[in-house]
Amino acid sequence: MTTVLLVVHIMVALALVGTVLLQRSEGGALGIGGGGGGGGGFLSGRGAANMLTRTTAVLAAAFFATSISLTLIATNRGPGTSIIEGVTPGAPSGGGQPGTPGLPQLPSLPPSPQTPSAPQAPISQ
- Over the stretch 86-116, which tens digit does the pLDDT of each residue have? 666 765 555 445 555 666 667 777 766 666 6
Q: Mean pLDDT score of the chain, rounded to an integer?
A: 74
What is the pLDDT averaged over residues 118-123? 71
Output b/e per residue, 53-67; b: 16+ Cβ within 10 A.
eebbeebeebeeebe
6-28 tens-digit pLDDT: 999 999 999 999 999 988 776 65
- pTM score of the predicted model: 0.49
Distance from CA of residue 24 to its chain's centroid? Answer: 30
What does DSSP assign to residue 30?
Answer: -
Q: Note the pLDDT of residue 16.
A: 96
Closest CA to 86 of 76, 74, 96: 96
In this model, does residue 48 exceed pLDDT 90? no
